[in-house]
Structure 1
Amino acid sequence: MREWSWNMIKAVIFDLDDTLTPEMQYVESGYRHVASVLEELILSVRGEAVLTKEEIFTRLMLLFRENNKRVFNRLFESYHLKFELMDVQALVEEYRNHEPDIFYYKEVKEVLLQLRQKKMKLGIITDGPAIAQKKKLEALEAFQDFDKIIVTDELGRDYWKPNGKSFQLMARDLGVDYREMVYVGDNPEKDFYIQKIYPIHTVRVEREEGVYKNSLYLEGVREMYKISSLDKLPGLLSHME
């Protein structure tokens, strides 16, 4: 591992999903919304509540846990309902545009406060459809907690992580060098590869419930440090002083 100290670090940048807020919390929120939409749609077409929103929600969660791909397609198929691509896309839009009922992990606010007391600049770099990610950030009131937030989808799909463009912009806008940055994420497929592009220090928060906890590391590039929850982060940084 590279040697570095607390005194070198001027900015701590976070991933969003499964780092600051549980991804499954958002999934459940979105599926509850979609289930309500479908219940009303079926009622208006059939004239009776053939399926309740709770039944639909339970089925959606079951399908997601089996495989998180093509969930809405498989939902229609599981109920033997005829559907077209536009029907699936309509549900995707409902999911992405809903007002999510989500919260930070319980330790986040205290950790951010401790980092502020150390005069750290704070940022977020997050992938995902821009409308959905911005809805999450608004629900969390994250814009008041961080100095800079970059939703990579607003740069273009090609600039999602592991592309380094968002890190370039973050370093520039916060006025720090790459060596003065720490990136905290959870996804081995894309969050830690940045250290191969720029000399940014990386920390993985490995949560039991993490959606991507079993994902493979991109080109075998692993995080520099690993913690089980964010409340371990200030201690980790202080230990390196």
Structure 2
Amino acid sequence: MSEKEIKAVIFDLDDTLLSEYEFVVSGYRYVSVFLSRMIGVSAEEINDRLRELSKETYANAFNRLFDSYGVTYTAEELRSLIKAYQQHPANLTFYPDVYPTLRTLKDKGILTGIISDGDPQRQWNKINFAVAAMHSDNLSDNDDPKLASPDSWFDAIILNDEFGGESFRKPNPHGYKVIAEKLSVDPAEMIYVGDNPAKDFHISADLPVRTARIIRENGIYNDREYLDGIKETFRIERLTDLLDLI
């Protein structure tokens, strides 16, 4: 039986459409100003220490920062710090190959979407900032405000944590089922583009979704192992390579 025609291209967000590393760097720079007052050292030193602590893992970076300086902190202070980091005004842009890919997919009548994990407010901030920047960079002569909205470029956006927390994150197939229903397509008519071997490609074990892996420079998950050894259907060097698969 021949494979079904691709009717929808669904993207991961971090390190697929935009750089997670750039968000982290931007966030650390932003909160370092507040942390310098709490700890009593320069914001530059705080920023450098955070980046050093994060070389091994990003987990609990702020807790470990306080511990490294021997500074006590309350749970409320930590929550406020994390909130400031997640919601900071990041000057994010999509990778350069995103706009031409989305533009061509739209011209071809291919549906597009996003499935992403993580704090919903943080992820929405990233999407909104990046779409606005894409509009400014590529469509500055078009004053239609709708083109600066994510809805103009993505037919459905699924943030898995909105379903009820971390248990709904990939590789849980729930988000894929929801987006297929929203777009009125069969999972076999979708291709999912991601970067993280630990969760982005396992969906093909649960649903007939084809997958494509893109490896970005400074990608946080480039060295992860494949979950259950399940690999991508295709490997691409840039998003525009997708256009040859459709």
TM-score by length of 1: 0.88
Q: What's the counterpart of residue 53 of structure 1? A: 43
Q: Deviations over 1:5-58 (max 9, x none)?
A: 7xx01100000000000010110111111112223445xxxxxxx422222111
Residue in structure 2 matched with residue 27 of structure 1 by the alignment = 24
Give per-residue Cα distances to partners, 1:102-138, cap 9 Å, x unaligned. 1100110011111112210000000001111111112
How many residues get paired? 227
Q: Deviations over 1:62-117 (max 9, x none)?
A: 11113322211121122232234443333212211222221100110011111112
Question: Which residue is 1:93 aligned to?
Answer: 83
The CA deviation at 1:192 is: 0.7
Deviations 1:176-231 (A, max 9, x none): 11111000001111111111111011001112311011111111111111112212
For residues 35 and 117 of structure 1, the distance between their equivalents in structure 2, rounded to whole angstroms, comes to: 43
1:137 aligns with 2:127: yes
Identity %: 40
SS at 1:202 equivalent: strand
CA distance in 1, matches of 2:19, 2:173: 25
Q: Relative to structure 2, which stretch is displaced further, 164-173 or 32-41?
A: 32-41
Matched, 1:113 2:103: yes
What stretches of structure 1 move > 3 A for 4+ residues in a row? 2-5, 84-87
Taking the aligned partners of 2:223 and 2:2, their CA distance within structure 1 comes to 28
Structure 2: distance between partners of 1:126 and 1:38: 29
Alignment of 1:191-202 (within 5 A): 191-202=200-211
Runs (5+) with no aligned partner, structure 1: 43-49
Measured in 2, the distance between the counterparts of 1:108 and 1:211 equals 19
Match of 1:165 in 2: 174
Alignment partner, residue 233 of structure 2: 224
Partner of residue 149, structure 1: 157
Paired residue secondary structure (1:13): strand
Aligned-partner SS, 2:52: helix
State the distance in 1 between where 2:79 and 2:106 align: 42
RMSD: 1.8
